[in-house]
Amino acid sequence: MLMESRQPNTYYIKRFMRYLRPHIGRELLLLLMMLIVSACSLATPYILKIIIDDVFPKGNYSQLISVLFTLVIIYLIRIICSLFTDFLYARISQQVIAAIRADVLNTILARPILFFREVKPGDLLFTIMNDVQNIQLTVSSFVLTFTSDLLTVIGIMIMLAILNLKLTVISLLILPAVIFSIRKFTPHLQSNFRNIQEIQELLNNFVLEKIKNIRVVRSYNATKFEQDNLFKLQQQDIAANTRNTVLSSLNTNITVFLIAIGPVIVLMYGGKVVFEGALTIGSLIAFIQYLNRLYAPSMNIMNSYNKFAKALISMERVSKYLPDDFPERCGTIQTPDFQNITFRNVSFAINDSQILHHINLRFERGTIYGIIGPSGSGKSTISSLLCDFIRPTTGEILLDEEVPMSYLSDWQNSLGLIEKENQLFSIPIFENIRYGSFNASEPEVLKAATDASLMEFVENLPDGLNTSINESAASLSDGQKQRIAIARAFLKKAKVIIFDEATASLDIKLEQQIISSLRKNHRDAIIIIITHRLQSLRHMDYVYNIENGFVVQEGTPDAFITNGWPHHYNTGQ
């Protein structure tokens, strides 16, 4: 289950700051570069003060040139350090975001299969792309940029204090009002951002779902209906983003106004001090220039705070998919050579729904098994249990009646699974067949394709096995796509091969050819065929009939068939 309770903000901050640790050396170098850039940016106003107060009244032209030459050198140092800072920042930030995405994706791929029933693909996509991007702004951009701006602000405050301490204190009188404004707006911005993220998820899921079910949308003439639904979602998105813009604009402009009052107050008091002869004109000009330079980094700090508040929401969402949020399921021993698999009093339930009830099954190597039964009877649940996608609620699954399947660390290496839905990737047919058997040679791939009766149509494709699925998928039938998946399982030379209604898209003759190929080339494997096709039973060695989660009948095909049909399908079906 997904983590529902909210943790303190410090929990999320500590959790994601760990992604900066591998880059600590470069971050310290980056900090040094930022210090140099900040120091260089403070030079101009003070040098201007020197020129006005010292060079013009008491110096000469050569002194002016020397001072200006020094200023140019400072500018060059600042530019070089800024370029290096930008380069380091880009490298660190992109490596951070890549590490977070990799962790999130790896964790999602390792989740129990039931997890994918609870989460929509659009939610996962949005989290991996958008939420991680927001976190990247916090982990790298916020930390580094905020540090740079903070150093600049501290440096400016020091220079202001050097020029005139009393004037500095007066200019800071506006600071409490600025802090109050930011604190008032932040909760509203954070709440609205959470709403925007949820609406964006709904839009993602909406688009993915409609593309997936495009044939239903078109065949039921529901295009206008879906356009209206999309319009409603977009109106919600527009309203939420408009509110966010208004809140952000109010926050920014109120702060801008408050900060802009600072120079006015300084001129009022500083002008009086200049007239009294207690402050030079150069010092007042330098003071105002420093005060104006205080505006940009102060605004950046304010905006960084708002971004940080938003990123905390993304941290909370992404944390649900990071490694230490769910128990490790991997076993501790390697799969031994085994002769049989036994289900001993196995039950399985999801929440309050009982799917399997204390079933006992046995599968022997070198035997082809059939599993039949009405839809929803628990057949595919048995397949998922065999694949260790899910674990029994009670009972156990044993190899050779001794080794629990849950103890195995590499059980999936023994499996070849072919399901009803076409599960192909946007890569060439050759690579689709070799998926999971990445080191297989070309002759081995060709043999698997031949055994799956695949070559008869592949040879007619322009590039043969090198034809890319994303280019030819529209022209391939469901049966042809299914044969690619079957060839993939054949190539793996698995000890357990499961057809979960995978032959439904094949004609009877082709199905018989594939079963014959199984007997010839995989005679030492456990073959399990889950099917609704009654004619297929004749080619199996042993059959289990599942109804409402119970094994209601088992035996050889002859024991099932009366007048050519199984008893189950003769009674009311």
Q: Check which CATH number belongs to the domain holding 313 and give it.
A: 1.20.1560.10
Q: Into how many domains does the chain fold? A: 2
Mean pLDDT of the chain: 81
Query: How confident is the model at residue 323, as a pLDDT?
Result: 66
Highest mean pLDDT among 103-107, 179-183, 553-557: 553-557
| 279 and 367 fall within a common domain | no
3-state secondary structure 281-310: HHHHHHHHHHHHHHHHHHHHHHHHHHHHHH
Which pLDDT band holds residue 570 (cuts at 50, 70, 90)?
very low
| 476 and 518 fall within a common domain | yes
Amino acid at 383: S
| 205 and 351 fall within a common domain | no
pLDDT in tens, 384-435: 899 888 889 999 999 999 899 888 888 888 888 888 776 788 788 899 899 8
Q: For residues 399 and 406, what is the distance between their CA atoms, to the nearest angstrom?
A: 10
| 347 and 294 fall within a common domain | no
| 253 and 354 fall within a common domain | no
pLDDT in tens, 462-500: 788 888 876 545 567 777 888 888 888 889 888 999 988
| 201 and 72 fall within a common domain | yes
Is residue 21 helix, strand or coil? Answer: helix
519-540 b/e (C-beta count within 10 Å ≥ 16 → b): eeebeebbbbbbbeebebbebb
Which pLDDT band holds residue 457 (cuts at 50, 70, 90)?
confident
Classify residue 523: in a domain, yes or no: yes
Classify residue 19: in a domain, yes or no: yes
Helix (H) or strand (E) holding 484: helix 478-492
Residue with token string 């998820």: 201
- The phi, psi pair for 245, rounded to 5°, reads -65, -45
Q: Which domain does 266 fall in, by range? A: 9-325
Q: For residues 235 and 233, what is the distance between their CA atoms, to the nearest angstrom?
A: 5
Query: How confident is the model at residue 7, as a pLDDT?
Result: 64
Residue with token string 């905390």: 312
| 168 and 269 fall within a common domain | yes
Classify residue 372: in a domain, yes or no: yes
Comparing CA positions, the residue from 373, 347, 343, 376 lying closest to residue 360 is 343
pLDDT in tens, 510-531: 788 888 888 888 888 999 998 8
| 356 and 489 fall within a common domain | yes
Percent of the chain having pLDDT more than 70? 90
pLDDT in tens, 281-297: 888 888 888 887 777 78
End-to-end CA distance of the chain: 38
Classify residue 49: in a domain, yes or no: yes
| 136 and 284 fall within a common domain | yes
